[in-house]
Structure 1
Amino acid sequence: MEEKDKEEKVTGENLEPEDKNLEQEDKEEVVGPQEEQQIDEAKNWEEEYNKLLDEHNRLKNQYLRLYADFDNYRKRTQREKEELLKYEGMEFLKKLLPVLDNFERALKEKDTDPQKVIEGVELTHRQLLEILNQHEVKAIEAQGQPFNPELHEALMVEVREDLEENTVIEELVKGYFYKDKVLRPALVKVSKKQ
């Protein structure tokens, strides 16, 4: 019996390597051409995914930089706009200062020579009109014109048979345009038929 046991052992030992060979063959069969193709495709997909992820991260960083640049630009232009609005009248006011100087000179002469005061006021008036003209401020023509509520404000009405109704008889206070807008309407006296 011992020999039989030995034979069985030997036979059993011999079977183990055969089983191992069978397992390896099974493994080789499992990884066939179709499976290799799937593995290659999976590797390709993984590589493609990594490339896309890198591209995504690059674009995201680029977007964040552009967003920050734009935000800085927006803040800078807002500050510049606020500063511009804050000091927008500065140049105009600089041009008015000589007018003020001329008024002061004329007032100094009031006790010595009234004619010099009149000349100074006339000069100052011309200077002021010139500055207003440079800034596109123009007088509204009212005298003798038909009353226009967009350009004129009627303060008085006078019965006049010799004029058409609603004709401006007298300009009490001049009105002005600034470019194409009414800066101030003219205050006028208007005719009325009885």
Structure 2
Amino acid sequence: MNQDQPDTATPSPADAAAEGSSLQQQLEALQNEVALLRSESLRERADLDNQRKRVARDVEQARRFANEKLLGELLPVFDSLDAGLNAAGTEASPLREGLELTYKQLLKVAADNGLTLLDPTGQPFNPEHHQAISQVDAPGAAPGSVVQVFQKGYLLNDRLLRPALVVVARD
């Protein structure tokens, strides 16, 4: 190497400062990009977690109410058995005992699948579970209480399947 020529391998102090400033800007840009990517990753992870929870909740709801149609179609059968028991009277007979046994077995199977019977006689009127079809003067009954049930209601896993049709005592 010729000693008369300037050494181009060592930068001047101004070049070093400019290069340091450029590197600092690149470092800041990369740090900002990493922070942005980290934020997007966390947001996407949270969205995915929320979607997973929503799907699990939807699957659970579908499982809990999968038999809603079948149980809804069985309600007239419950009504018929109930009417048959009322028509059979209170005297013990093989027919009455058979109807009672069938009714109890059917109610047990339905209860095992989440169905709950609403028979609100004597209870306060609840517009969320009962449908009032009339009001009557009922001495001895509390005002606003159910005095007669025309048709029992049913809940499926705490959701109303059919309201009870009731007569309510006047206030």
Instruction: Return the TM-score normalized by structure 1.
Output: 0.46
Which of these two proteins has the greater Rg computed from alpha carbons?
1
- Normalising by structure 2, report the TM-score: 0.50
Whose helix proportion is higher, 1 or 2? 1
| Greater relative contact order, per chain length (Cα 8 Å cut-off, separation 6+) | 2
